[in-house]
Structure 1
């Protein structure tokens, strides 16, 4: 079969790889019908995540049709149409039973390596380094899904791939980011990053009843999409973020702050961002935490910081004293996808939201390698790429 494979920093290729096979009785094989390039994939493309090996199949946001089912998998049958969450979940361990699916205790088959890096292992993830299990990803014609009797969302008739594809990652990620904020009707919610996750967080915060949603970015197409979703926009190239947020909140600061950027944050008017890039270049720091610093500084005392953006390693010069003394609450996690998907699928069916609004480019899987750079550099107005086999 054909798949998009990682061969090193900025080197993604459309390769021929072995077809997947059933390896465990709970497995299923999915024929991919749609997949996407995620912002987290760019961390792999840019070489910021450890544990990748040449030839690894990429992709963790995908869906398709079941074509083979393991003997113990009673939840699926051939012909079922499913979205596959990017977090692989057994459904039986201590964490899964509590809905903490992104820290499933059984699905990371490289648990010992992850334990050494993180202290305790996270769940297995598709297409996202050998620290998270080394599982082949979904930017491929076929995908093996382990624990498939749990790791799936069945899709009813009448919904297009484009409407439901993002149930596997960015829609529940944006929703969880907003849910972690415990939004109240009087809240101003500030969101850093108007990429795909930020766009979903905007709509989620609006649905959950925030008084005011403000988004910070510098890409005109992203800001226009954010405004269409109900957000007040701040272009950090043209105005000071802290000053504008103070103005919008009568000097009190936003009640809730969401980081939808992660480790590759940058700012054109910020000295700390320049220093972060220099430290990264000489391996004194792995991630760029400009957004975290800004959120700590501007957030209203006793507010909530919700981190949806992915971080992979070490950050420097974080004003933790300010965070502690202001009484800020931090909430963060890789997304517990299955915790949210029943509700979100219902909202799509009811017409409350159509996540396909975020798609700007749809191309064949064979052209996917070139789209990594287009997506990363926001060329051609690119906000979200969908790939079709």
Structure 2
């Protein structure tokens, strides 16, 4: 089969690789009908996330049709089922899964010793990500093996298109969880850093959850335009001070809730801390750039909440912990517990409350995938979300 394969930093190729096979009783094989490039994939593309190996198949936003089922998954799936595959691989049986904390499933990371060394405990296995999270082949391919498939799937109806459903795999529940973690009240101003795909979903989620005012911070014109179309006010951080503008918008109080939809590759324009981060990252003295985290801590209203769906991989520096503690802020983080949210989100799509396909700007075949990684990373050609049809 063909697949998008990692060969090194900024080197993704469309290769011919062996077809996946059933390896465990709970496996299934799906024929991929749609997949996507995620912002998290860019951390691998630029090799900011450790644990990648040459030959790894990329991708964790995938859906398709079941073509083979292991005997241990036959009560849950059958050939011909149409499914979206969550990026988090879950067993459904461990203590964390039973509590709904699927992204920290205790069983599915086949390299759990690596995760425990990096993070203190294992996380769930993830598709198409680093070997720290299991090194599972991803779904930017013609076929995908789904381990623990009896639990790691979302059955979807034939009445909706792939493009309406695909983002149940990651960015829609990720934006939703980011907003839910804020415990949004009707009087809240919610500030969202990043107008990429997750930020766009967080905007619409915050509005669905009843926020009084949503503000989105970015500097890419077409992304800010999409944020305004979703109901947000916008701040272009290249043109004005984010902190000053947010204080103006909130009568000097600051937003009650802040969401970091950017993560480890935060950008800023001519700020001392941003230049400091880039220099430290260049010489491997810091793995992640926490400019957005710092800004959120400074501007958030005391007793407010910071929600962090943006991915961080290692170590950060110069975080104002004194401000965080003395202002009584709460921070909630984590990879997304996808299956906790998908029944509700599928219902909202079916009822027409939201159509997640609004975020798609580019549609390509696998052979064009490598070039689209660079286009997406560089924010060229108005690129916000790329869907691939294998």
Unaligned 5+ runs, structure 2: none
Let me know the Cα RMSD of the aligned residues: 0.4
Q: Tell me what 2:156 maps to.
A: 155
| TM-score, scaled to structure 2 | 0.99
Q: Tell me what 2:61 maps to.
A: 61
Aligned equivalents of 1:64, 1:49: Cα separation in 2:
28
Q: Tell me what 2:306 maps to.
A: 305
Question: Secondary structure of the residue that 1:380 maps to in structure 2?
Answer: coil
Deviations 1:32-72 (A, max 9, x none): 00000000000000010111000000000010000000011
Q: Is residue 38 of structure 2 the alignment partner of residue 38 of structure 1? A: yes
C-alpha contact (below 8 Å) 1:308/1:333 kept by paired residues = yes
TM-superposed deviation, 1:382 = 0.2
Aligned equivalents of 1:371, 1:321: Cα separation in 2:
42
Matches within 5 A, 1:193-342: 193-342=194-343
TM-superposed deviation, 1:266 = 1.0
Aligned structure 1 segments of 4 or more residues deviating by more than 2 angstroms? none
C-alpha contact (below 8 Å) 1:236/1:269 kept by paired residues = no
Q: Tell me what 2:122 maps to.
A: 121
Question: Secondary structure of the residue that 2:381 maps to in structure 1?
Answer: helix
Q: Tell me what 1:25 maps to.
A: 25
Question: Secondary structure of the residue that 1:162 maps to in structure 2?
Answer: helix
Q: Tell me what 1:15 maps to.
A: 15
Aligned equivalents of 1:262, 1:233: Cα separation in 2:
19
C-alpha contact (below 8 Å) 1:192/1:198 kept by paired residues = yes
Aligned equivalents of 1:113, 1:40: Cα separation in 2:
19
TM-superposed deviation, 1:191 = 0.2
Q: Tell me what 2:50 maps to.
A: 50
C-alpha contact (below 8 Å) 1:192/1:215 kept by paired residues = yes
Unaligned 5+ runs, structure 1: none
Q: Is residue 86 of structure 2 the alignment partner of residue 96 of structure 1? A: no
Question: Secondary structure of the residue that 1:63 maps to in structure 2?
Answer: strand
Q: Tell me what 2:347 maps to.
A: 346
| TM-score, scaled to structure 1 | 1.00
Q: Is residue 141 of structure 2 the alignment partner of residue 176 of structure 1? A: no
Aligned equivalents of 1:247, 1:113: Cα separation in 2:
46
Question: Secondary structure of the residue that 2:298 maps to in structure 1?
Answer: helix
Question: Secondary structure of the residue that 1:183 maps to in structure 2?
Answer: coil
Count of residues in correspondence between the two structures: 389
Deviations 1:248-276 (A, max 9, x none): 00000000000000000010131100110
